[in-house]
Amino acid sequence: MITSKQNINFIGSIVLLTFIAFSVMGCSYSFTGASIAPDVKRVQVNFFPNQASLVQPSLSQTFTEKLRDRFVSQTNLELVKDDGDLLFEGAITNYYSQPLAIQGNEQAALNRLTISVQVKYTNKNDPDKSFDTAFSRYADFSSSQNLASVEVSLIDDICDQLINDIFNKSVVNW
């Protein structure tokens, strides 16, 4: 026999589950931390040309593809060539290597590869979240290594860091 106390607990549980369901439906959330409004369906990532004084031939393609891949793999957004609800455009503005730690014999112990990118992010559905920001990241490598021998690996690492920053600023809202 069901008592009135059990009945109240059952109804309370249903109300709580309904409230949670409607709350979750109110915003889109993924385990990547992205918080994307439900009315945002498409993302557009334009090609990022390399406008740095020193041009590494594959950098633009690598960076652009990694940024596109992040949104495809970690959101439910459709990647489009035009008319995206979210638009990323910009350019690689700096690419350089410099000595970092000078030893007693005036030789560098470490070198640093730095990549900077200017990103204009437009959120057509919520313009207040749009930004135009410069992002810069680097990776250090031993002076005993030739840049050419570690360049591809360093570019991958730096691009991943840059894309984390861009992704977080645009859709994670930290």
CATH number of the structural domain spanning residue 116: 3.30.160.150
Q: In this predicted model, what pLDDT tens digit does every residue of 104-160 receive, in sequence order?
A: 666 768 899 999 999 999 999 999 999 999 999 999 999 888 899 999 999 999 999
Asked if the structure places residue 21 within a domain, the reply is no
The answer to whether residue 17 is domain-embedded is no
Do the domain assignments include residue 1? no
Give the DSSP letter of residue 50: B
Inside any domain, residue 94: yes
Sheet with 108-123: list strands edge to edge: 78-80, 42-45, 86-102, 108-123, 131-142
Domain membership flag for residue 15:
no
Question: What are 84's two structure tokens?
Answer: 């995206």
User: How many domains does the chain divide into?
Assistant: 1
| pLDDT given at position 104 | 64
- Mean pLDDT of all residues in 21-38: 54
Say what the pLDDT of residue 4 is: 56
pLDDT over 60 (residue 1):
no
Task: Note the maximum CA span of the chain.
Answer: 89
Residue 149 in any domain: the answer is yes
- Find the helix packing angle between 147-167 and 59-74, rounded to 10°: 40
Domain span at 131: 40-172
Phi/psi of residue 14, nearest 5 degrees? -65, -45
Residue 128, domain member (yes or no): yes
Question: What does the mean pLDDT of the chain come to?
Answer: 84
Q: Which band of pLDDT confidence, cut at 50, 70 and 90, is reported for residue 86?
A: very high
Question: Judging by DSSP bridges, how do beta strands 86-102 and 42-45 pair with one another?
Answer: parallel
Categorize the per-residue pLDDT at 6 as very low, low, confident or very high, splitting at 50, 70 and 90.
low
Q: How far apart are CA 23 and CA 42, in angstroms?
A: 23
Q: 148 in a domain, yes or no? A: yes
